[in-house]
Amino acid sequence: MDDRLDGVATFVQVVEAGSFAVAAERLNLTRSAVGKIIARLEARLGARLLQRTTRAQSLTEDGQAYYDYCVRALAELDAAEAMLEGGRQQPQGRLRVSVPIAFGHLCAAPVLMELARRYPSLRIDVSFTDRVVDLIEEGFDLAVRIGELRDSTSLAARKLGVQYVSIGASPSYVAEHGIPTAWDDLERHAIVAHSRAGVTTPWDLRETQGHIRRLQIQPQLSMDDVTAIAAAAIAGFGLARLPSWLLARHIKTGELVQVKDRCNLAPQDIHVVWPKTRYMPSKTRCAIDALVAAIPAMLDN
């Protein structure tokens, strides 16, 4: 059996990754192994496909034409495999998923672990990051996104629910300082704030009459991770603005009490997104269905 298809897939990965090193990481190969595969492919074709320097690589004219044909050929193979896979009862193969850090750990990961338990032939690779990944360029099968979706003709999406934001504090903090009954009272309380790149995120809150109130925040503690903010609030450092689903978890344990419910300016939609394809592999479909079935109940607080 020849290795023409392996060479084609590796060549496409190298082009789309932009470098041999990144392609090697995605393919779980060494850089030298990838280089040898491309060298054998060029030798078999009798044409140079890539111009390589120490700093960059680019397609030759022959390489560009060959790449276009390879992409179409691989798409047809993917469609054929998906069609056959659709008749199988057990999803299998590698499924790469990107999820936000806090939501991923507490909501998405348990669903995916249950999926792995149900289907032993399914290998699930989960990446936790708050960065918006490029599913196609980075080789992900699906991702969970919180907030407005960027327009894309290459992605499909299903809504998982809505994320609200509420304010909570520890029972010990409330016992000492009380629960603020008006928005003006909030400014007299200690606050554990969210920050990004050293800049504190303001608290923009919607009042009952629909007016917008921006609190002047001068926190002793500010953090760029909501689970750390929740931990600080539990430790009694002040009021914390948290996703309602996260606050609800700590209310159930008695670690936090609710101060203000669903007071954020604009609730955020949560979606699962995936690259549009003519045929969806069963491994992707079962993961999407599992998230759609389980996540709404986690958000219904």
Boundaries of every domain in the chain: 4-85, 93-163+268-299, 165-260
Q: What is the mean pLDDT of the segment spanning 180-202?
A: 84
pLDDT tier, 87 (very low <50, low <70, confident <90, very high otherwise)? low
Beta bridge partners of 200: 195
Give the span between the Cα atoms of 134 and 115, in whole angstroms: 24
Whether 266 has a pLDDT exceeding 70, the answer reads: yes
Q: At what angle do helices 109-118 and 282-299 cross, to 10 degrees?
A: 140
Q: Does domain 93-163+268-299 have CATH number 3.30.1330.10?
A: no
Interacting residues of 72 by C-beta distance below 8 A, sequence separation 6+: none
Mean pLDDT of the chain: 87
Question: Is 276 or 94 the better-scoring residue by pLDDT?
Answer: 94
Contact 60, 50 (CB under 8 A): yes
pLDDT digits (tens, 9 = 90+) for 184-193: 788 789 999 9
Whether 54 has a pLDDT exceeding 50, the answer reads: yes
Q: What is the mean pLDDT of the segment spanning 160-173?
A: 94
pLDDT digits (tens, 9 = 90+) for 93-141: 999 999 999 999 999 999 999 999 999 999 999 999 999 998 888 889 9
Q: What is the mean pLDDT of the segment spanning 38-62?
A: 86
Beta bridge partners of 163: 268
| Nearest Cα to Cα of residue 268 among 153, 144, 167 | 144
pLDDT tier, 71 (very low <50, low <70, confident <90, very high otherwise)? confident
How far does the chain reach from its first CA to its final CA, in angstroms? 57
pTM of the predicted model over 0.85: no
Contact 146, 268 (CB under 8 A): yes
Confidence (pLDDT) at 77: 78
Confidence (pLDDT) at 29: 85
Question: Is 91 or 228 the better-scoring residue by pLDDT?
Answer: 228
Q: Comparing 75-79, 82-86, 256-260, which segment has the lowest mean pLDDT? A: 82-86
CATH topology of domain 4-85: Arc Repressor Mutant, subunit A (1.10.10)
Q: Do domains 4-85 and 165-260 have the same CATH topology?
A: no
Give the span between the Cα atoms of 85 and 79, in whole angstroms: 10
* Residue 104 DSSP one-character state: I
Confidence (pLDDT) at 134: 87
Give the span between the Cα atoms of 61 and 105, in whole angstroms: 46
pLDDT digits (tens, 9 = 90+) for 252-264: 999 999 998 887 6
Interacting residues of 289 by C-beta distance below 8 A, sequence separation 6+: none
Give the span between the Cα atoms of 42 and 49, in whole angstroms: 7
CATH topology of domain 165-260: D-Maltodextrin-Binding Protein; domain 2 (3.40.190)
| Nearest Cα to Cα of residue 106 among 168, 169, 163 | 163
What residue ranges in the chain does DSSP mark as E strands?
50-52, 57-59, 93-99, 122-128, 142-146, 155-163, 165-169, 191-196, 199-200, 203-206, 212-215, 221-223, 239-243, 257-260, 268-275
Q: What is the mean pLDDT of the segment spanning 56-84?
A: 81
Q: SS3 breakdown of the chain: % helix, strand, coil, rounded to 5?
A: 45, 25, 30
